Structure 1
């Protein structure tokens, strides 16, 4: 459906006052049922929902009206409503004009070209400094891994994440202070996204040098292996991982399983089981982008809910003029386009299988994991560590056990990082 007669981003189109009923002072406005802004509440979610429904209904005149209105009101440099409108406008425009895959490829190309190790590392570390979004899962996973591998002298951790090994210095420090013999640690890093193929080698060279230097400082025998060049995680094999019989294995998945195509997730979990690991830790963001793939409006509602909360936490964590905040918000634009405006076909979506953004909720991941593993509750010591971590951040963050429908008969199936009582991140531990 191309009712504009062009494929340009709406921000590149001229503004026509006859098509718009706009108000540039948007921080205190919202949309009325007619689509016009009115005061006293948040306006972006209402306008965006109206536009999503119009796209679902194929109502071209209303789509045209709402997209132009959003274009007038949105700004990536404004308040939270203006930012939401800006990034969701891009995805809705791509959906309406069927230009999602092309837009996604462009955004991915720009991200790859602008990527450098120093910028990515600084952004990750700054985010961890001001928000527990990632450190929550790191602390919970590290605690479960250390307990599962206690007393072992030959450790092999398989790390499937894209956080440039920022999880592991604290674990190395803990290993160095063990009362018994300091173990040998082999870390196998499987790259799953976030690093362009052209930059993976140089980035991991930097990571290797830093990790090896820190391990020497801690006095921990250490080696790092990198696996890259996979088209998707489903291609990973047991032979690639090089697991030795004498090694005590732990598999760490942080934001990795959502990048696996839905129909391949059982196979990847089965691969983990074939390694006979002492523990598998899984951390995923709490959203469901799979159940409503065929119902655009419902899928849009879930996407809007999740990213609205994410943008709110960024607003609370960073200063209004923070460059890091702007970079994190811009990273969201690619995810939003991928979810709302690209199909599931790999080639259509841009050719990168690992750019899949099909998140599932903790209870959904639990059902998948239970086919191969049994859930292991986090110990009181690990929970205390997580609670101590959250005290370092601004009020509003809390630790929560899963709601009753997520609990098994014997123990809960993980823990949640909550923002103002809304679950955002799920962490869990599993054993064969």
Structure 2
């Protein structure tokens, strides 16, 4: 699901540099019409999500055009109608407003908002550092990650049947939380457990969730767990990051591939909500050909995502799994990006009431995580904006362009996912789109799972 952090301790009502009296809706409606806003008659439903989104758009436009008057007006309204402890729409809107203020402070635009943010540095989102047990329990609270774990594990087990050595490259934002369940399943194979090699890259720096142990320490725990299941596990962490498209990891895998490919070793590439951290076309100028580590880069300078997928294809994996959130947060236009994020990120706010009580620590971590994501999408640009989620259709096209061929998930996988969803709220659902599976909330796409083999 999302990365998880701590909750900011102050609401926007507490940080305004000017006095904003608390007003009810009738009092707000009596205020004079503002330029660019509907009349009081048109503001009859302030609690409506569409109205809140439009007000955020006005605020974003004001910040981008350095219109302090319009920014102050929209801020005044949003402060009164979107408390950070309100209903799901209000909490969502409050997170976006906070992100817009942070953006103003970073860019230096709209001096009123910039001064406001600089005077109250507690706008930044505090991060919670998880223990392994905390993170494992947290991930199990919602299907956001469990959906991908279930579909991927089922596809992997089918693909590696009969192999005595399985090399899994786990590109995951959840610190290998998927792997114990996979080890359990592998341990029960009819032909006996194989040797499992597990390779992981470094996770994006300062991107939640944060773990209280190193990857090496985590690897030792996984090795011990596998041993308890009579599975021999070799663990290796490769210093490699998303910023250069995991170049070091690709180089290491290429060297290993030359050694082990003919020995009949299965190579599994498991990509779980991490590929969208790889910079793509809208993030920054790409490195030149001479400095790029990928030997296949043509002079046309393709994006790092394209290069990474082509590098994976060159490794001829037994199977590649791609799981990610089904949204598009890549636009260079702030308003377009805001609208897209607003129409997607209502989902985690809407679902939280079904599985976490108000006031619980886990709920604070969960909702602050969404605040972090909103801030990254709205307040940052360039390589700092790592939340560049792409839709399923765009990733499918990328995989096909890299000469991968999609494979369907079997009926047993669908059944397993449905059984898992039965453990959660009734709003979660599953649908099949061509070869792919999609997790839904109240009919809206949330997370997609795809499986690929070399075409």
Residue aligning to 1:6 = none
Partners of 2:101 and 2:398 lie apart in 1 by: 35
State whether residues 129 and 212 of structure 2, in contact with CA within 8 Å, keep that contact through their aligned partners in structure 1. Answer: no
Matches within 5 A, 1:24-423: 33-34=38-39, 42-43=47-48, 45-56=50-61, 58=65, 59-99=67-107, 114-118=127-131, 121-122=133-134, 124-193=135-204, 202-228=213-239, 230=241, 232-234=243-245, 235-241=247-253, 242-243=256-257, 244-245=260-261, 246=263, 247-262=265-280, 263-290=303-330, 292-294=331-333, 296-343=334-381, 345-346=382-383, 349=384, 356-371=386-401, 372-402=403-433, 412-423=434-445
- TM-score, normalised with respect to structure 1: 0.81
1: CA distance, partners of 2:122 / 2:219: 28
Structure 1 range deviating more: 240-249 or 154-163: 240-249
| Root-mean-square deviation over aligned CA pairs | 3.2
Q: Number of residues paired by the alignment?
A: 392
Cα separation, partners in 2 of 1:367 and 1:33, compared to 1, 3 Å:
same
Secondary structure of residue in 1 paired with 2:354: helix
Measure the CA separation in 1 of the matches of 2:108 and 2:221.
Answer: 38
Structure 1 209/154 Cα, relative in aligned 2: closer, same or farther at 3 Å? same
- Aligned equivalents of 1:315, 1:194: Cα separation in 2: 30
| 1:43 Cα deviation after fit | 4.0
SS of match in other structure, 1:13: coil
Alpha carbons 2:428, 2:441 under 8 Å: kept: yes
Per the alignment, residue 22 of structure 1 pairs with: 23
CA contact (8 A) 1:22 1:36 kept: no
2:15 pairs with 1:12: yes
Classify 1:157/1:70 alpha carbon distance in 2 versus 1 (closer, same or farther; 3 Å): same
In structure 1, what is the Cα distance between the partners aligned to 2:180 and 2:141? 18
- Indicate the SS of the match to 1:395: coil
CA offsets, 1:295-324, max 9 Å, x none?
A: x32221110011111211122221122211
